[in-house]
Amino acid sequence: MPSNFLTRRSFLATGVAFLGLAALPGKLLALTEAGARNLVGSVVGDINKVIASGKSESAMIRDFEKIFVRYADVNIMARYALGVEARRASASELRAFTGAFQSYISRKYGKRFREFIGGSVEVQSARKIKAGYEIKSLAKLKGQAPFEVTFLVSDKSGRDKFYNMFIEGVNLLLTERTEIGAILDRNKGDINKLIAELKRLS
């Protein structure tokens, strides 16, 4: 899949999906498809309210980061994105990278908030998988044909949190791992330089 696939379509789907999934409380098996659809719709409505409130881009990004930290398994996502270097990194380097990754992802997707107007994510199905739950949904964005978005959710952290998602089969976390790897390569494998660059990009 070409790297330019992750353009407006994927940015919008990812942002709406992150926030849509953030609305799913408790154990997913206790949630009906209709209930999940309504919750996702409510979240999209809340996003539009924030946009209509006239908040600055920086304020919206802060809101997104709070949601990301609360509902995403950031530690697992960061370790996966770092790849084999995560095993070689010291505890302090890993903490610093996780913080930088968190801010980087939040800004990367949060800055597209204004483009979410009129979007929705409708839950289609939920099923148990080895690593947690797979939630398949249909994303409908203004000016785009509907397309499938799949969430992977786990309760390994003690509560349901999302740790990956796929847009039309494209693995978003793997894509981030590739991009992080490219930045690391440019910095000759120096994790501290990678962290510094992610902070600059944030």
pLDDT score at 47 = 62
pLDDT score at 198 = 96
pLDDT score at 79 = 96
Return the number of other C-beta atoms located less than 10 Å from residue 136's C-beta. Answer: 14
DSSP one-letter string for 46-64: HHHHHHHTT--HHHHHHHH
Q: Considering only CA atoms, give the Rg of the chain.
A: 17
pLDDT score at 72 = 79
Task: Give yes or no for a contact between 153 and 21, defined as CB atoms under 8 angstroms apart.
Answer: yes
pLDDT score at 99 = 96
Q: Which helix (H) or strand (E) holds 137?
A: strand 132-140
Is pTM beyond 0.85? Reply is no
pLDDT score at 101 = 96
pLDDT along the chain (202 residues), means of 10: 50 61 53 48 62 78 80 89 95 97 88 69 78 80 83 74 83 93 96 97 86
Query: Strands 147-154, 132-140: parallel, antiparallel or unpaired by DSSP?
Result: antiparallel
DSSP one-letter string for 142-184: TTS--EEEEEEEE-TTSS-EEEEEEETTEEHHHHHHHHHHHHH
pLDDT score at 50 = 67
DSSP one-letter string for 180-191: HHHHHHHTTT-H
Map out the domains of the chain with their CATH numbers: 3-201 (3.10.450.710)
